[in-house]
Amino acid sequence: MKKVVILFLLVLTTKGHSQFAKNMFSKDPIINLENWQKQRIYFGYYLGFNSFDFKFDYKTPVPEDIQVKKTTGFNVGVVTDLRLQEYINLRFEPGLYYTKRDLYFPGISNKESDYLREVNSTYIHFPLLLKFSALRTGNIRPYLVGGMSTTLNLSSNAKSKDDNFEQKFRVKQWTAAYELGLGIDIFTEYFIFSPSVRGMFGITDELIRDNNPDSPWTGNIDSMKSRALLINFTFH
């Protein structure tokens, strides 16, 4: 029975893939959701992954940079899309982003409690983007996207009076960034599937300095800005 079920699923999957390829890439595909893009406004949601980093600038040159160990986080959010004209849309994509970064400070000491700082972040992300779409070909439409975003860090410890001397690495609550990316709209029979990849580049300093201006952790840091690679799968 298991073999029969597996064989049946394989046949259905193969048939589904063949039909999908026929609809998407054949010379005369069946045009799905032909009038969808004529809507003035529509909504959707996205799921995805992220990889956040920090970019450090220093007041004086250092023999060895602060090392950032990145992890893969996740994104979830909603999309509101306003059509400005045939090829330009204004998009608002608020979402929840979770990520974790480990910072390794060289030359402080051999104790892990001194040279290691864990930065766990839960962001509420507010990007306002312009989407520039190419001419639709069959059921495929590539696009470029770019704009500005602001982020609220729910994990921020900005109000804490403790600092790195008490093992507390502090970051600000609000930051801003610009974003650039590309993606593709794939029109299926019932919905639009849009995978995209985007870079986020912080423009505001995120670091809160230690109370001691000569702190070995923050004293020589001129700025610390987030940057990230975002991969989202959007459904309209």
Please state the three-class secondary structure of 101-158 as a single string: EEEECCCCCCCHHHHEEEEEEEEEEEEEEEEEECCCECCEEEEEEEEEEEEEECCCCC
Cβ contact 205:57 at 8 Å: no
Residue that the structure tokens 């079920």 belong to: 5
pLDDT for res 26: 54
pTM of structure:
0.81
Q: Taking a C-beta distance cutoff of 8 angstroms, is the pair 53, 70 a contact?
A: yes
- List pLDDT tens digits, range 153-206: 999 999 889 989 999 999 999 999 999 999 999 988 888 999 999 999 999 999
Contacts of 105 (CB under 8 A, 6+ apart): 66, 114, 115, 116, 117, 216, 217
pLDDT of residue 116: 92
- Which residue ranges of the chain lie beneath pLDDT 70? 1-29
